[in-house]
Amino acid sequence: MIKIGNVNIGTNVLLAPMAGCTDLPFRLIAREHGAKFCFYEMVDSNSLIYERHETYGNLKTDKKDLPIAVQLLGSDPSGMLKAALRLLELVKVSFLDINCACPAKKVIKKRAGAHLLRDAPRLYGILQRLIPELPLPVTIKIRSGFNKKDDDNIVEMVKRCEDIGVSAVFVHGRLKTQGYAGGIDYEAIKKVKDAVRIPVFGSGNIFSGESAKLMLDETGCDGILVARGALGNPWIFKEIEEYIKTGKPPKEISLPEKKKVLKKHLDYIDRYKSISASGKAGFMRKVAIWYLKNIPSASNLRARITRETKSCQDILKIIMEI
Per CB under 6 A, 204 contacts ligand FMN: yes
Is 203 one of the binding residues for ligand FMN (CB under 6 A)? yes
In 3D space, the residue among 273, 159, 123, 141 whose CA is nearest the CA of residue 201 turns out to be 141
Q: Does 9 bind ligand FMN (CB under 6 A)?
A: no
CB of residue 143 vs ligand FMN: minimum separation in angstroms? Answer: 8
Q: What span, in angstroms and rounded, lies between the C-alpha atoms of 156 and 39?
A: 27
* Residue 227 makes contact with ligand FMN by CB under 6 A: yes
Query: What is the 3 state secondary structure string of 262-291?
Result: HHHHHHHHHHHCCCCHHHHHHHHHHHHHHH
Instruction: Tell me the C-alpha distance between 108 and 69, whole Å.
Output: 23
Using CA atoms, how far apart are residues 10 and 1, in angstroms rounded to an integer?
6
Give the range of 154-162, 200-208, 286-294, 314-322 binding ligand FMN by CB under 6 A.
200-208
Q: Please answer whether residues 62 and 87 qualify as being in contact, where contact means their C-beta atoms are separated by less than 8 angstroms.
A: no
Instruction: Say how far apart CA 46 and CA 176 lie, in whole Å.
Output: 22
CA-CA distance, 260 to 298, in Å (whole number)? 17
Cβ contacts of residue 235 below 8 Å, gap of 6+?
A: 33, 34, 250, 253
Q: Is 141 in the site for ligand FMN (CB under 6 A)?
A: yes
Residues 229-248 that bind ligand FMN (CB under 6 A): 229
- Of 109, 132, 180, 249, the one binding ligand FMN (CB under 6 A) is 180
Question: Given the complex with ligand FMN, which of 39 and 268 has the nearer CB atom?
Answer: 39
- Catalytic residue flag (residue 102): yes
Q: Report the alpha-carbon distance of residue 278 to residue 298 in Å, rounded.
A: 24
Stretch that binds ligand FMN, among 148-156, 194-202, 227-235, 263-271 (CB under 6 A): 227-235
Give the Cα separation of 299 and 291 in Å (integer).
Answer: 12
Q: Does 286 bind ligand FMN (CB under 6 A)?
A: no
Site for ligand FMN in 13-52 (CB under 6 A): 16-21, 42
Q: Does 179 bind ligand FMN (CB under 6 A)?
A: no
Of the residues 102, 161, 221, 312, only one is catalytic, namely 102
Contact between 223 and ligand FMN by CB under 6 A: the answer reads: no
- Binding to ligand FMN by CB under 6 A, coded x per residue (else -) over 245-284, reads ----------------------------------------
Nearest to 173 by CA among 204, 212, 216: 204
Which residues bind to ligand FMN, rule: CB under 6 A? 16-21, 42, 71, 99, 101-102, 141, 172, 180, 203-206, 225, 227-229
